[in-house]
Every structure is written in C-alpha cells, then in structure tokens.
Amino acid sequence: MICRFGCVGLALASLAACTPERPAIVKPPVELTTCAAEPVAPVLPGRTDQAARDMVVGTYILALVMAGADCRARVDALRAWGDALD
C-alpha cells in the first residue's frame, strides 16, 4: 500500500517536471500602434441636386470619421495591451 502511494507520488512529480516552458509573449510591431490621419473631405462644386449630393457626401464623411475612431480605439487598446506586458 505504501509503495502504491509512493509510486503514484513519484509519477506525479516526474510528470510535473516534464511540462513545457511557457512561450514568450511578443509585443506587436510599433507600426501597428499608429493610424494614419483622417483624410480631408474634398471641396465639391455645386450641382442642381445639391441636397441629395450633400446627403451622400455627408454619409461618406460620417463613415470615414467612424472608421477612424474605430481604428484609433483598436490601436489604443493594442498599445495598452503591449504596455501592460512590461
């Protein structure tokens, strides 16, 4: 009976020593922690259906602003994650 517990304890101890090392955590490249500036909206000439044109351009600009905000939020989170590894 004593041998059984001793053998089991020895087996568990030897298995614990065989665990692989924890892999190193790598920081992301610095290039991935910045975003390009938001592009400047173009100046458009007037048209006969200016209200509809303004709606399309306004929607496009709003989408650009939202995409830029999303990018900056992701990059900030990525930068914070990398800083927390230090």
Amino acid at 50: Q
Q: What is the pLDDT of residue 62?
A: 87
Strands (DSSP E) along the chain, which ranges? none
34-49 pLDDT tens trace: 777 777 777 776 778 7
Residue matched to tokens 């929607």: 59
5-24 pLDDT tens trace: 555 665 655 655 566 777 77
Work out the burial of residue 78: count CB atoms within 10 Å of its CB; fewer than 13 is exposed, 13-18 middle, 19 or more buried. middle
The CA distance from 55 to 61, in Å, is 10
This prediction's pTM: 0.54
The CA distance from 28 to 25, in Å, is 10
